Chains A and B, each alone.
Chain A
Amino acid sequence: MVAGLVPYPEKCTGCRFCELICSLTHEGSVNRKKARLRIVKKGIRNDIPVVCTQCVACGDDCCAEACPENAISMVGDILVVSEEMCTGCGICEKTCKYGVIRVVEGIARKCDLCSGDPVCVKFCPLGALKYEEPGGERYLAVLAMLGGK
């Protein structure tokens, strides 16, 4: 099965621990601004988990297609950024309509699904993030909730 991160905003409590543990795991320090997913809070009602769709629901806005250095490519089922090839130009960030690939300190930081064992899901006991067969409509629902980046 090809699995991806799937967001369930109706379950999200807005705690943002996913952002903390994502950055700890990938960076060795904690910084929500470097997390490979983000929680957008809109008023009291909406806590929206915004995750990388791994190209499932990006259509023409594909970071890999847009990258002039070809630094983003499929490794197995996961779109991965090559830190050696990435120049930090930021074109991918501009392309991504979810705003989850972010260039920080000269490197594009993108969800790699923790090589198939995403840590964020392990700290989301109420089920706002699931690792399962990706459903494109859930990504589109999140986009609609965001109403822009």
Chain B
Amino acid sequence: MQALRGKLLYVDLTGGKITKEDTPDNLIRDYLGGEGFAVKLFCDAMDPKLDAFDPNNVLVVSAGLFTGNAVPTAGKTVFVSKSPLTGTIAESIMGGAIGAELKAAGYDALVIKGRSKSPKYLFIEDDVVGLLDASKYWGRFTRDVSEGIQNEAGSDVIVACIGPGGEKLVRFAGIDCEDRQAGRGGLGAVMGSKNLKALAVRGTRDIGVADPKRLASISLTWQGIMEKSNAFNEDTKYGSGEFLGWMNSERGVFPTRNWNDSVFEERAKIDPYYWAPRYGVKNKGCFACTKACGKLFVVDDGPYAGTVLDGIEYETLYSLGSQCGNPDIEALAKANEVCDLYGIDTISTGVVIGFVMELVERGILNPDDIGVDCRFTNPDAVPKMAELIGMRKGMGKLFGEGVARISKEILQGSENFAIHVKGMEPPAYDVRGMKGLGLGFMTSPRGACHLRSGFYALDLTGKFWRISDVDRFSPSGKGEQVKLMEDFMTVYDCLGMCKFQRGFFKLEGLMELLDAVVGVSFTEDDLLLVGERINNLKQLFNLDAGIRRKDSYLPKRITQEPIKSGVSKGALLTETEMIGMLDDYYKARRWDREGRPVQSKLAQLGLV
């Protein structure tokens, strides 16, 4: 089949055994690629009851079906494993070129299990696959590892690696490739637990296209449509944080100081409309992105001179900014850089820091014991805390466990303001005033996430695609709508498409591309069924892993403390609404009250 490479690569780090298998023919029809392949292969190979740090935990890497092909903005690589943060199945997706290169080397997916006795990196050059010594890279920053391996193996080798955070099993450590991160869910710690420092790939093979002329023509048409849009102008100028000011002032749902507030009064100082012209040297893009929304951010002077990173993304402006009461953009940039170098997730790191700040404010923790004056009023504490966590030094050992485990260790009522769902620290959307996304936080298999459902767009603007008249303060109708959006969004992760383009391509654009790239026709219903199949498969895994309905519930601050100020003042997502929405969602999914899919649904999806 065009676009598929035909091989799956299996690596067992315990014995060093490397095997190749043929990619089953029906895999595209049922799972498309990318996230679909990774979830399917993971579930086939993994015992759900094993701990995330068990040597036999499985890590799958798969490029989206369009990734590596000439489809604008299709460059994503999907990692799937059992998360050490949530104990669920977790997908973590990045814009680095590792997946595309893996495909060019001839592999539709890479399945890793086992644990090496000493630090290794996996080197792949087309058919040649080997485990090489990584002792000299152990303990080193992500950027140094990439540079070192490229000096050793060639500058055109694509490297994905972990930093010290992953080695030290920070439960929210990520995987880095070209300063793009698979940040969420702690899959970098899974690599660390396996003594696997990096993947290094060089691929030289052709990736087939069913109808090259048609693909070139479709791609050009879409490129023209994108470039003419307002979104193109806004995103390339200001990046993903373009709407930060609007979120703060017009919607009043920009979480601040560990979700004590939902409006950040010093917003203007971290708004990209302020910093992009001052610190943004040029744009940076994910692999294959022709609408690049990243910025090369450089600090030239002051205490943080020399800071350089690809960012700062919207979620990070919240997590290392407003969540920590931090209006100092240079301290924020430094903290972001620290997270990238140590290889830890900026969202979880920032939410942990804000949580610790509240623990200090309430007198539950003493800053002297932490060694950092960790307060909402001290911006300089943010990069220092990020470093403490990345190194797991002193109390950083506890903080690297994530909000849920810190709270369990400390108790003293901290569970009331430990902000997480299924152990996952949430992104920058105060769901007290965004009830659809509130449900999305609950139903996301990997815990609090805005990108499984993408429902923030509907809550904030009232409509998307087939869905209209969405009232962000009402729980009504959300079950069916969130289900539909989750299935829709999953298609994007299967194809490796950037979700920022979903308003352009919707599903019909993808269908046209599928026809040109793969030569297979899919209807909208076919695609949504693939999404539904994958979401059911994840749920089955989570059930077998012991995840229960109550694990999806929202933190008490969201169900009990109304938003204090701004245009969403008084908004609350009550426990009754929470339970009602979850019931509606389970009904829409044809899952029973505990979330177990009914037999007829499984039969329809071919999952019996």
| A125 close to chain B: CB less than 8 A | yes
- With A15-B289, A15-B292, A24-B212 as known contacts, state yes or no: A30 contacts B68, CB within 8 Å: yes
Contact with B along A2-35 (1 / 0, CB 8 A): 0000000011111111001101110111111110
| A124 close to chain B: CB less than 8 A | yes
Q: Cβ of B209 and Cβ of A29 under 8 Å apart?
A: yes
- With A21-B219, A31-B104, A44-B308 as known contacts, state yes or no: A125 contacts B212, CB within 8 Å: no
Q: Cβ of B204 and Cβ of A33 under 8 Å apart?
A: yes
Q: Cβ of B290 and Cβ of A15 under 8 Å apart?
A: yes
| A41 close to chain B: CB less than 8 A | yes
Q: Cβ of B97 and Cβ of A13 under 8 Å apart?
A: no
Contact with A along B351-373 (1 / 0, CB 8 A): 00000000000000000000000
Q: Cβ of A119 and Cβ of B292 under 8 Å apart?
A: no
- With A24-B215, A122-B223, A125-B227 as known contacts, state yes or no: A17 contacts B290, CB within 8 Å: yes
Chain A residues, CB < 8 A from B298: 45
Q: Cβ of A15 and Cβ of B143 under 8 Å apart?
A: no
Q: Cβ of A45 and Cβ of B296 under 8 Å apart?
A: yes
- With A13-B284, A16-B97, A31-B104 as known contacts, state yes or no: A123 contacts B219, CB within 8 Å: yes
| A40 close to chain B: CB less than 8 A | yes
Chain A residues, CB < 8 A from B147: 43
Q: Cβ of B204 and Cβ of A31 under 8 Å apart?
A: yes
- With A31-B207, A123-B72 as known contacts, state yes or no: A41 contacts B178, CB within 8 Å: yes
- With A28-B209, A125-B232 as known contacts, state yes or no: A15 contacts B286, CB within 8 Å: yes
Contact with A along B317-354 (1 / 0, CB 8 A): 00000000000000000000000000000000000000
Chain B residues, CB < 8 A from A125: 223, 227, 232, 236, 290-291
| A140 close to chain B: CB less than 8 A | no
Among B75, B288, B290, max chain A CB count under 10 A is at B290
| B463 close to chain A: CB less than 8 A | no
Q: Cβ of B309 and Cβ of A32 under 8 Å apart?
A: no
| B474 close to chain A: CB less than 8 A | no
Cα-based distance from A77 to B97 in the complex (angstroms): 35
Cα-based distance from A31 to B104 in the complex (angstroms): 7
Contact with A along B257-296 (1 / 0, CB 8 A): 0000000000000000000000001111111111110101
| A56 close to chain B: CB less than 8 A | no
| A145 close to chain B: CB less than 8 A | no
Chain B residues, CB < 8 A from A32: 104
| A126 close to chain B: CB less than 8 A | yes
Q: How far is the CB of A31 from chain B (nearest CB, A)?
A: 5
Q: Please, which residue of chain A has its CB at the minimum distance from the CB of B147?
A: A43
Q: Please, which residue of chain A has its CB at the minimum distance from the CB of B232?
A: A125
Q: Cβ of A25 and Cβ of B216 under 8 Å apart?
A: yes
Q: Cβ of B209 and Cβ of A24 under 8 Å apart?
A: yes
Please report whether the interface of chain A is mostly helix, strand, loop or mixed according to DSSP.
mixed
Q: Cβ of A30 and Cβ of B206 under 8 Å apart?
A: yes
Cα-based distance from A75 to B285 in the complex (angstroms): 36
Cα-based distance from A10 to B292 in the complex (angstroms): 14
Contact with A along B201-219 (1 / 0, CB 8 A): 0001111110010011001
Q: Please, which residue of chain B has its CB at the minimum distance from the CB of A26?
A: B212
Partner of B207, one of A10, A17, A30, A45: A30
Cα-based distance from A27 to B147 in the complex (angstroms): 31
Cα-based distance from A14 to B282 in the complex (angstroms): 11
Q: Cβ of A17 and Cβ of B289 under 8 Å apart?
A: yes
Which chain B residues in 104-118 approach chain A with CB under 8 Å?
A: 104
Contact with A along B498-541 (1 / 0, CB 8 A): 00000000000000000000000000000000000000000000
Cα-based distance from A22 to B97 in the complex (angstroms): 17
Cα-based distance from A13 to B95 in the complex (angstroms): 13
Cα-based distance from A122 to B220 in the complex (angstroms): 8
| B70 close to chain A: CB less than 8 A | yes
- With A44-B179, A44-B310 as known contacts, state yes or no: A13 contacts B283, CB within 8 Å: yes
Q: Cβ of B204 and Cβ of A45 under 8 Å apart?
A: no
Cα-based distance from A126 to B296 in the complex (angstroms): 14
Q: How far is the CB of B495 from chain A (nearest CB, A)?
A: 15
Partner of B309, one of A20, A44, A47: A44
Chain B residues, CB < 8 A from A45: 281, 296, 298, 308
Q: Please, which residue of chain B has its CB at the minimum distance from the CB of A149?
A: B155
Which chain B residues in 542-595 approach chain A with CB under 8 Å?
A: none
Chain B residues, CB < 8 A from A12: 282
Among A44, A123, A126, max chain B CB count under 10 A is at A44
Chain B residues, CB < 8 A from A14: 178, 284-285
| B69 close to chain A: CB less than 8 A | yes
- With A10-B282, A28-B212, A45-B308 as known contacts, state yes or no: A16 contacts B287, CB within 8 Å: yes
Chain B residues, CB < 8 A from A119: 216, 220
- With A13-B283, A29-B209 as known contacts, state yes or no: A44 contacts B219, CB within 8 Å: no
Q: How far is the CB of A47 from chain B (nearest CB, A)?
A: 8
Chain A residues, CB < 8 A from B216: 21, 24-25, 119
Chain B residues, CB < 8 A from A21: 70, 216, 219
Chain A residues, CB < 8 A from B206: 27, 29-31, 34
Q: Please, which residue of chain A has its CB at the minimum distance from the CB of B158?
A: A41
Q: Please, which residue of chain A has its CB at the minimum distance from the CB of B310?
A: A44
Partner of B288, one of A15, A28, A124: A15
Cα-based distance from A43 to B155 in the complex (angstroms): 10
Cα-based distance from A45 to B297 in the complex (angstroms): 9
Which chain A residues in 18-69 approach chain B with CB under 8 Å?
A: 20-21, 23-25, 27-34, 40-45, 47
Chain A residues, CB < 8 A from B284: 13-14, 47
Chain B residues, CB < 8 A from A31: 104, 204-207
Cα-based distance from A88 to B269 in the complex (angstroms): 58
Cα-based distance from A43 to B97 in the complex (angstroms): 14
Chain A residues, CB < 8 A from B104: 31-33
Chain B residues, CB < 8 A from A20: 68-70, 288
Cα-based distance from A31 to B227 in the complex (angstroms): 25
Q: Cβ of A15 and Cβ of B75 under 8 Å apart?
A: yes
Q: How far is the CB of B108 from chain A (nearest CB, A)?
A: 15
Q: Please, which residue of chain A has its CB at the minimum distance from the CB of B297?
A: A44
Q: Cβ of A126 and Cβ of B236 under 8 Å apart?
A: yes
Listed by A's residue number, 23 A-B pairs whose Cβ atoms lie within 8 Å are A10-B282, A11-B282, A13-B289, A13-B292, A15-B285, A17-B289, A23-B70, A24-B70, A29-B206, A29-B208, A29-B209, A29-B212, A30-B70, A31-B204, A31-B205, A33-B104, A40-B155, A43-B143, A44-B179, A44-B309, A44-B310, A45-B296, A125-B291
Known A15-B292, A24-B209, A31-B204; further 14 A-B contacts with Cβ < 8 A: A11-B283, A15-B286, A17-B72, A23-B70, A24-B69, A24-B216, A30-B207, A33-B204, A44-B179, A44-B310, A47-B284, A119-B216, A119-B220, A125-B290
Lowest 3 A-B CB distances belong to which pairs?
A13-B285, A15-B285, A13-B292
